[in-house]
Structures are given as structure tokens and as C-alpha cells.
Amino acid sequence: MTNNTEHHSAFSFVRSEFIEALNVEVFEYEHKVTGAKHIHIASENDENVFLVGLKTVPTDSCGVAHILEHTVLCGSERFPVRDPFFMMIRRSLNTFMNAFTSSDWTAYPFASKNKKDFRNLLDVYLDAVFFSRLDPLDFSQEGHRLEFAEPTNPESDLTFKGVVFNEMKGAMSSTNSVLWQTITKYLCPNNTYHFNSGGEPTDIPDLSYDDLMAFYRTHYHPSNAVFMTFGDLSAIELQTEFEEKVLSRFERLDKKIIVPNAKRYFSPVRVEEAYAADEAKEDACHVVVAWLLGESTDLSQQFEAELLSNVLLDNSASPLRRVLEGSKLGNAPSPMCGLEDSNKEMSFMCGLEGVARTDAEKVEALIIDTLTQVVEEGVPQDMVEAMLHQLELSQREIGGDSYPFGLQLILGGLSTAMHSGDVIAQLDLDPVIADLRERIQDPKYIPNLIQSLILDNAHRVTVTLRPDTELEGRRNQAEKDRLAEVKARLSGVETQQIIERSEALKVRQSQVDDMSILPKVGLEDVPAELPTYIREQLEQTLPVTFYPQGTNGLVYQQLVIDLPELDKEETEYLPLFSYALTELGAGDFDYLAMQERQAQVCGGIGASTSLRATADDRQKLGAYFVISSKALVSNFAGMSELMCDSICQPRFDEVERLKELVSQRRSRREQSITGQGHVLAMAVASSGICGLSNQQEAWGGMTGIQSLKALDDVLKSDEQKAIDLMTVFARIHDKLLKANKQLLIVGEEQQQATLLEQVDKVWSCLEKGSIENKFVLDAVDKTVKQAWLTSTQVSFCAKSYRTVMGMHPDVAPLTVLGGFLRNGFLHRAIREQGGAYGGGATFDSSIGAFRFYSYRDPRLAETLNDFDASLEWLATFEHTEEALEEAILGVIGSMDKPGSPAGEAQGDFFIQLHGRTKEQREQFRAQILAVTIEQLQSVAKRYLTSANESVAVISSSSQKETLATLGFDITTL
């Protein structure tokens, strides 16, 4: 590990500590002049991570912090190009690049395994954050602006445009977002959490450019910053960059940005507000009870609160969650349930959704009565121990499959750093767990915490959020009235200014910047080969594939079963079977007892399917059913026994539990639409390509959500339907038990012999199995033009084209084409000019589909036209080799993105299971690197034709007439 005791002379060394559970050493430094903090997490990991965080404290809901986050990345002093952030995405081998706006901080993180690339990105990020140009036109593009519907025609309607404006219209279409903002508005009546840091669409147009500049000058200053780094680069090397590029140019800022504590209530508060809905259902209210707790920087309080929250709500056996799941007052526990500890002061929330408006006080009483009962009766000691076990699991696990592992650690300590807390203590949970283990020996410890933190806490807010079918219409009308009023007051000069700004912005968006001023990596920096993973295949009771990986004392296990042939009904309910299998009881244990066992010995058990079309025929499948878990090595036998019980002896008699699960699943799937609308739209557009794409949409797309809603409604009124469904589950289960089985185990090499010995003892209950008829789906080959209407203020558009797959030579150029079209045309047309939050194109190699998409889009037909216009641009424009190289780098970067040690091994196993050899993948990599512009034009001309086109849109009911005119088949969710 790099020696980090050396540091730059401009910094003072504060302290350091080695954290054994994470195998990292954490160093804390302070810049002598500005007071900027530097937290460095030294590791042997070569994926280096950088983040600069700034405390940003809005005093209204105009979205100033969020709009700044976007605008500072639009050009800086040393890099005065229009869009260095998105340009660097193309010129980089980064494993992560983004920016975040939280309730009280803004952060700019990136990660890369390539040292040259890391330094390039560091240069750009430092300059962007601290020396941003903040051009007024960029504020107009990213934040908000007035524009005529026909930009040069002042007689046309006036409109609001802007990327953040439309992003927040999409975000605030989510009922969960509305619920969260409503809760915090009342829970924190006098500080920054009272406001929507992302910006309320009704308030964003009130933000002026001068307001933006004033906020930047006070908040984007090193005195208000924390630099956080992870990896094998030395602290002194990093600090040299910080000092030379930024810190030497600043003095200490006199003003200290703080978040005052919330004004406390002396008695509970009850409020009611509304959310936009398409249906006026009586039982569609959300009721949440929330308490404000102590400061998150007090680690003792924080982990006490986390332990308490987990004891009450972690799983279905937890006392409060059990009552909420079983209550007839609502359909499912609220997604808000749990502890929020990222703000300065923590909050604890719980509640129900799908509640009748008249039952709001009953929900509150149910929660209070349950907590009172837990205080009186206590909590079983093994349940409290199990929650401590879960904390230890989370501390030891090396992540990296969603965010880079180093970034996960940094984000875990960021809020504490922002509020001047002890980041090292925040990362080192072992002493905290040891302290809690002593405290919980007192059986009154948890009951006393409930009494003091919750029941005796008068700062309580009960929020009822009811559906309002007219809210969206009133909101839209208010916006129209506001714009009409503004237009009526416009002078001739102001009218001309709007037209001229639109023209100036269009010119700016179309300008070709000198990219050479930005640093870059090239194809010569791409690693030559794919990594090789060691694996051993062994014949045990069941065939075992073992991957020796550095998992820090954890072991990962998957039971992989060849998916057998299923009838139509069994196929329809396969995802629900997968979801329910590990949530039901097994053998002599009901589902509550199984949930308790899972918490005690493992990180939960999940079941899923792994399906992929074969390389030579998209209508044929490789299909597997997978049961997964993870545990500390010491609990491997217990985890295996649990997995074995779950597959061998599932309880298909727990009918009421099944109803609860369906209701909960429906709730989560409906809530996912506004966040995953582009993915759902692409699934609809691709549903006609083959049997697999059609079935995946029926399972997990808009059709799947519609089917789940219908099933939930039937289960509430027809007892027999639930019994019949369990019968279908039993048939699927019987077929799985007879099918071929194997185990995948990922763990540390020195544990291999012990683990394999335990495998033979535990898994002897299962036979290896044999099967002749494997899972198949009927072939599908059709075009689609479908629109789905739901409660949203924005649209999600998609087009899909059937192409080739497998090792066909056209697959490589099709893969590169998505990034090439996004970089060169779609990003500008859809995001910058169109105002959508995102848009692009991608190739789905699993089904051979090329797909366009837009995300949180204010437009509809115009975006669909832009998809076509990008193909015209491709065919007629003169393209550069540099643009091609950028698109290729993007593909290689995504292919080479590292995961966790366990995730990489599991990925390698399933790639090979589905018949993709390393030699094939390296051949494909070589083809990617050799793609030409002529090949891109050729495959586009060959496959992306109007005759081969399918289209899908997810939008609001206000677009129904437009969609009908465009010839869409329209379905209302």
C-alpha cells in the first residue's frame, strides 16, 4: 500500500487509522489556508476514486443547488468548451462519472482504473467546480428560460424550457418524491430541508441568473469543500494537484455555511396534501408518521437509531413491519419506512399506502399502539443479535457492482464529512458493533430506545397524501395562465430579447468546439486483454464451480437449475413464483420464522431467472432458475441449510402471505415508472423482436405492471384465485426439483476445502436431476406502435429495430453506433435543444435490438423525428476519426467496468453458462476496436429502416389526442 504519511506542505496532517474490516487506511488532512478537508482512503485497489463535496444549503425551492450542479459542468476557465463533462465521458475510460445534488450537499465524483485517465478527469473536475464560466446561456439551457413555441414567432404561445425544469417535472410526477418532500417540509419547518433542493417546477422559473451567481460565490469555495479520495495513488500526489490547480488561488472564506437544527414541535402535527392521480380511488392515500431524531454526526445516536430501525422494520418478522404488512388498513408498508440519516438531523418514518382517507388516524394509532406493545413486551434477543449481524455483513462486504467500491465508502462518509463529523469512525463499524453488542445484553435496551426516541418525542408529523385527479390539470392551467400573463406584459424589447436568446442558444448548441484543449485517452491506452478468472469445477453431491476471490470473509453461493419446460400459465407466473419462493415459509417454519433465520445467518435469500437468447438464434433460449445468498464464512452451513429448505420444502399454503406479497410488488412496480420510464418504453418497442423480448415485456414491462394490478385486484376479492395460484407455484416447483442442478460458490481460496466439505453435508437433500425438455417460448416477429398513458408530466419515447446478434460481423458496428449517434447528434438535439433530461441510442446484444430512447422528455413527436434525423445526419455528414474513437472508447469502458470480486466471478460464470467463451469475447473486443465509420453507415442503412421500425411512448393522458393522430395503439395503465 502507498505510503501516505507524506503530505503536501500546504496541508496539515490531522490523523489516520487502519480499518481492518475494510483493509484500508484512512487519512485526514486540512488545508492550512482555506481550511478545506482532505479525506484519503488508501487501498491497494487500482480503481482510484475522487469526489469533491460542497455544503449547499438552499433557502427556497427554486432549485439553485441543482441547476448549479448542471451548469458548472458547462465550461470552465482552462476548458472553455461548451460541454466538457459530456465530452470527457467520450474521451475517457472512466468507470464512473457523475454529479449529485442532495438535500444539503452537492458532490462531483468520478473513478478510473487508468492513471492517465484519472489525472485527466481530475484536471477537468477541479477546474469545472472552482472556476466555472457559468455562461448565462448555459443557465438558460440547463435551468430554465422563456421561449416561444415557434422560437421566431412572437404570436405563438410562450413556454418554459430547461433541462432541470423538465427533469423535476418528471421527478415530481413520482408519488414517492411528492411524499418525501411533503414529509420533510413539515418535519423541518425552518431549515433547508423544508425546501426541495432539486427544485419545484412551479418555483424554478423564479430563479434569476444573479441568484445563481451569488450562491456559487459563497458555496463553491474550498473553505466549504471536502476532498475525498480512494485508491493506490498517494495523498501527496493528489494534494499537489489540489494545491497547484485550485487551492493556491484562494483565501479562507469568512462566511461559514451551516444548517441550523430544526425548530422543535411541542405537540404532534397532522397534515393532508394531494398528489396527481388518474383515478379517484378512495383507498389510494399514503399515510406516514415521521419523527425527527438527533444529529447524524453523533455516531452513538446514529447507530442506535439504525439498530432500532432495523429491529422494527428490517424484514417481515420485525414487529412493526409485520403489523404493517398484515394490516387491512392499507395495501403495503410505505416505501418511506425506515431511518433517514443522510441529513444533519435523522428522521424515522413508517406508514402504509393504499389507505382510505378516513382511516388516516387509525394508521397512526396502529403504529403508536404497536410501538407501545413492543415496549411493554420487549424484543427477542436473537432478533436484536440478527440485526447486529446484518450491520457486520454490510461492513465487511466489498461492493462495486453498482458504484465503485471506493465510491461506496466515500458516499458512506460524505454526509458526516459535510457536517464536520468523524468520518473515520463512520467507516469503522467494528467498535460501534462491539459497543452495541454490550448494550443489547440489557433486555430493556431496545424498549427504552423506542420509548425515548419515538414515543416520548413530541416532534412527530403525520402526513396523509391523497389522490387528486384534477391536480395535474390545475397545475398545467396555472402554468399556462402564468405564461399568458407574462406574455401580455412583454414589451417589444423584451419580446425581441426572448427571440434573440433562443437564436443565440441555438447557435451555441450547434457550435463545434475545439476538443483538443481537453485531455484524453486513446485506443492505445485500452488494456489489451480481458481479465482471466480462476475457477475450479468439482463433482460433489452437486456439481460445484468454485471461484477463489478476495471477499473479505464472506462467501457467496448460488444454486443454478436448468429451467424446465413450463406451460403457458406456469410461464406467466414464473417471476411471481421467483419473488415469492424465498418470502414464504418452508417445512415446519412459517414465513416469519424463515425471515428470522435469514437475518440471523445470511444477507437474505433471493430467487431469479437468467434467460438469454442463444448466439445463433434469437428465438431459442438458454434459461436457468437461480437461488442466491451470501454470508460470513462462519455461517456458510446455516446459509446452505436455509437455501436447501427454501427450494426443497416451500410452503404453498400461506395464502394471506401471497396476497401481501402481490400487493407490495404491485406498489413497487407502479412507483418505478417515472424513474425507469425509458427502460420500460424500450421494452415495449422491442417486444415484437422475439419470444424472449415479448415475454420479458409481459413479465416486467408496462404489460407486466398492468397484469400485476389486475391480479392484485382479483386476489382481494376472490379467495380461490390465491389458492389456484399456489397450485401453479407447486407445479413449477415440482418441475424444478427434477431438473439439472449445480452450485456456484465464490469465496476465499483458503476456505475452499472447508466450504466444499460442508456442501456435501447440506446439499445431499437434493438430487442432481435430469431433464429432457427445457424452457422454450413461442417465436414472435412483429412490429409495434404502442403508447401507454399514466400519471406523469413528461414523456419517455423509444424506437427499436430488429438486427443481428451473436458473432455476426455487424454486431460490433451496431454496438459502437449507439454511442456515436448519442455523442454526435442525439445529446444535442434531445437534451440540449429539446430539454429532455436524457436521450440516446443503445444496442441490446441479448436480443439483437438497436434502440433509441429519451428520458423525462417534454416533447413527443419532435423527439421521434430527432431519432430519424440522427440517421440522416449519419448518412450525410462528414464524420471524423476522433468522433469514432470516442464512441469506441465508450464501448470499451463499459465492457471493462470492474465490479465487486464476487460480482465479477458470478458474471464470468453466467457468461460461460450461456455459451460465450473468452475467445469469442476477445474476438468481439478486437472487432469493436476495428470498427470504421463506413461500417456504421452501412449497418444503419441496412437495419434502421422504417419498415423495420417499432415505436413506443409512455406519456400522460393529456397527450392522448396527439398519440391517436400519430397512429399509436393506446393503453391507459
Catalytic residues: 69
Phi/psi-derived region of residue 838, left when phi > 0, alpha when psi is between -120 and 50, beta in every other case? beta
Q: Which residue has the cell 415505436?
A: 951
From CA 720, how far away is CA 708, in angstroms rounded? 17
From CA 744, how far away is CA 756, in angstroms rounded? 11
Query: Sign of the C-alpha dihedral, residues 247, 249, 252, 254?
Result: negative
From CA 514, how far away is CA 87, in angstroms rounded? 11
Give me the DSSP letters along 776-829: ---------EEEEE-S-SSBEEEEEEE---TT-TTHHHHHHHHHHHIIIIIIII
Helix, strand, coil shares of the chain, percent, nearest 5, are 50, 20, 30
Q: How far is CA 663 from the centre of its chain?
A: 22
Evaluate whether 557 touches 640 at the Cβ level (below 8 Å): yes
From CA 3, how far away is CA 695, in angstroms rounded? 54
Q: How far is CA 2 from the centre of its chain?
A: 33
Evaluate whether 628 touches 578 at the Cβ level (below 8 Å): no
| DSSP letter (8 states) at residue 262 | P
* Nearest alpha-carbon partner for 318 in 588, 598, 585: 598
Q: Please work out, in degrees rounded to the nearest 5, the angle formed at the alpha carbon of residue 18 by the alpha carbons of 15 and 22.
A: 135
For the chain, the maximum distance between any two Cα atoms, rounded to a whole number of angstroms, is 86
Evaluate whether 43 touches 417 at the Cβ level (below 8 Å): no
φ, ψ for residue 278, nearest 5 deg = -85, -25
Question: 273: helix, coil or strand?
Answer: strand
C-alpha cell at 915: 455459451
Q: Which residues pair with 604 in a beta bridge?
A: none
Pairing of the two strands 48-55 and 11-19: unpaired
Give the N- to C-terminal CA distance of the chain in Å, as an integer.
55
* Nearest alpha-carbon partner for 125 in 519, 402, 400: 519
| DSSP letter (8 states) at residue 38 | E
